[in-house]
Amino acid sequence: MLSGAGMSAESGIPTFRGAQNGLWSRFDPEDLATADAFRRDKALVWGWYVWRMAFARAANPHAGHMALAKLGSIKPDLAIITQNVDDLHERAGSWQVLHLHGSLFAPRCFACARPFEGFEIPESVADLRLEPPRCTHCGGYVRPGVVWFGESVTREAWKAAEAHARQCDLMVVVGTSGVVHPAALLPAIAKESGARVVEINPISSAVSGNADLAWRSSAAIALPALVEALESNS
């Protein structure tokens, strides 16, 4: 299973490339999601991510997240590879989640890379500018624990994701435009390795060409139906 921002959309978290509300139609990633942007204006970048942390913390998993958690409890070999940096899969009860793009909730030092523990997420963020805290080891600035543009997905995460794609019988791809690499390669890898690929997305995407079935529905509607069908066939 591969999930993208559309997986969290019905929990109220905006996608990136949605025309109306997409984060990248309202904000410029060059100003907010690169290491250079952080060097240029730390308070702007940190404040924006704290705003996203507060937003994600206030959101709740929906019926699709719940259905996947239930599936994981009856099919322990289920792997959820997600590009999402929220924790909605885990809060629904899924434990086998691989975060390809990191996590909003794992800030680390920009200088020495040590994890920064104990950051208190405010309930709401009125001002997008916020000075980042300092690392308790080296005094460097603390950065968000996500993968920025121009950075690589960690080798371990990619190796694990690729292995799942090569070994699975079925890859369900939910809510991704399929344009960001290397995650975008996973459906094709699964297909080449003999798996069926099912896409769940209300509209066509770059994944659709590799999909054996394109289910034009939303995550919160299609996933509970899919899990129910898998359960009654097992």
Dump strand ranges (E) for 69-193: 80-82, 97-99, 108-109, 142-143, 170-174
Using CA atoms, how far apart are residues 106 and 189, in angstroms rounded to an integer?
A: 29
For the beta carbon of residue 12, count every other beta carbon within 10 angstroms. 12
User: Which of 20/232 has CB closer to ligand OAD?
Assistant: 20
Q: What is the DSSP letter of 202?
A: S
Closest to ligand OAD by CB, 22 vs 93, is: 22
Write each residue from 79 to 118 as x if it is in contact with ligand OAD (CB under 6 A), else as -, in one continuous string.
----x-----------------x-----------------
For ligand OAD, the binding residue among 195, 200, 214, 226 (CB under 6 A) is 200
Smallest gap from Cβ 108 to ligand OAD, in A, equals: 16
Query: Shortest approach of ligand OAD to residue 13 CB, angstroms?
Result: 10
- By the 8 A CB rule, do 182 and 160 touch? no
Indicate if 181 belongs to the active site.
no
Residue 181 in tokens: 């690499």
The reply to whether 203 sits near ligand OAD by the rule CB under 6 A is yes
Q: Contact 44/141 with Cβ under 8 angstroms? A: no
Which of these is catalytic: 89, 101, 137, 181? 101
Residues with catalytic function: 101
